[in-house]
Structures are given as C-alpha cells and as structure tokens.
C-alpha cells in the first residue's frame, strides 16, 4: 500500500468513527441524521425557509419539507409567515428545539475533545489547515 492509499484509508477510518459516534448519540436523543442537520441549520440560520434548507443540503423540496414537518410535529420548530413575503414561511426553532440543539452541540464538543486530547494547539492548527486544503481540493474537483 502506498502513502496516498494509507492516508486515504486513515481518513475513511476517521470518518467512520465520527459517523458511528454521531449515530449512537442521535439514537439517544431521538433524532435522525437528517433531523439533526435541519435543527442545526435552522438554529444557526434563524428564520430561514425550507427552500434555503433544501438548497444547502442538496435535497428535494419534498424531502426538506417532510423533515421540517417531523420536527414541527415534535415541537422543535414552528412555521411563521414571513413578514416580507406572505407566501413564504420561515422556520423558527422553539425553546424545545434549542434545548435539543444544545444536546447536539455538547456531544460535538465531547467528540472534539476526545479527538484532540493528545494534540497541542499547533498540531490542532496544522490539522485544521490540512483539512481545509483537502476539502478545497475536493471542492475544486467538483467544479
């Protein structure tokens, strides 16, 4: 196995470990991955529409609407008529939704702390810089 293959393999292992931890946590908080992603989006981007979410996620409008409807049924979000366009509805995260988002954020911090437990600040910065470059390489390849 050459060096590139070893690096790629380690990246895949890391991705699987992070995904496994996230999925375990989501089961304990009672959300699907899609619902968690939506809750994060609407908390981080207040008063956005389902259309903005679908565009950001690269999913169909119907799928985005279904995810929001499920969050709404659970009391995590509510739809409010836009003050600038009565035809549009903004998705507003409720207090219950913000509490659920806080659970997600806490788990993310725990995972980060464990991932970087034995790396000093300089190593963490190098890792971040390398990740940004790798992501940029992949994004430029898609264009």
| 98 domain residue, yes or no | yes
The boundaries of the domain holding residue 42 are 3-138
| 101 domain residue, yes or no | yes
Q: So what's the pLDDT on residue 111?
A: 83
Burial (CB count within 10 angstroms: exposed 0-12, middle 13-18, buried 19+), residue 67 = buried
| 143 domain residue, yes or no | no
Question: Which residue shows structure tokens 């380690």?
Answer: 10
CATH number for the domain harbouring residue 124:
1.10.10.10
* Beta-strand runs (E) in the chain: 48-49, 77-81, 89-93
Query: Which has the closest alpha carbon to 77: 31, 108, 109, 22?
Result: 31
| pTM exceeding 0.85 | no
Residue 142 has pLDDT above 70, yes or no: no
Please write the tens of the pLDDT for every residue from 46-101. 999 999 999 999 999 999 999 999 999 999 999 999 888 888 899 999 999 999 99
Question: Which residue shows structure tokens 């890792």?
Answer: 127
Residue 141 has pLDDT above 70, yes or no: no
| 10 domain residue, yes or no | yes
């Amino acid at each position: 196995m050459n060096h590139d293959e070893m690096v790629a393999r380690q990246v895949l292992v890391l991705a699987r470990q992070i995904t496994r931890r996230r999925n375990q946590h989501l089961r304990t908080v009672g959300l699907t991955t899609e619902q968690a992603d939506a809750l994060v989006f609407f908390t981080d981007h207040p008063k956005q529409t389902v259309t903005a979410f679908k565009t950001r996620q690269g999913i169909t409008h119907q799928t985005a609407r279904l995810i929001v409807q499920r969050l709404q049924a659970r009391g995590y979000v509510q739809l409010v008529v836009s003050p600038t366009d009565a035809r549009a509805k903004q998705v507003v995260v409720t207090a219950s939704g913000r509490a659920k988002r806080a659970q997600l954020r806490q788990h993310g911090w725990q995972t980060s702390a464990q991932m970087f437990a034995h790396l000093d600040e300089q190593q963490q910065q190098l890792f971040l810089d390398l990740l940004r470059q790798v992501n940029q390489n992949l994004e430029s390849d898609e264009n």
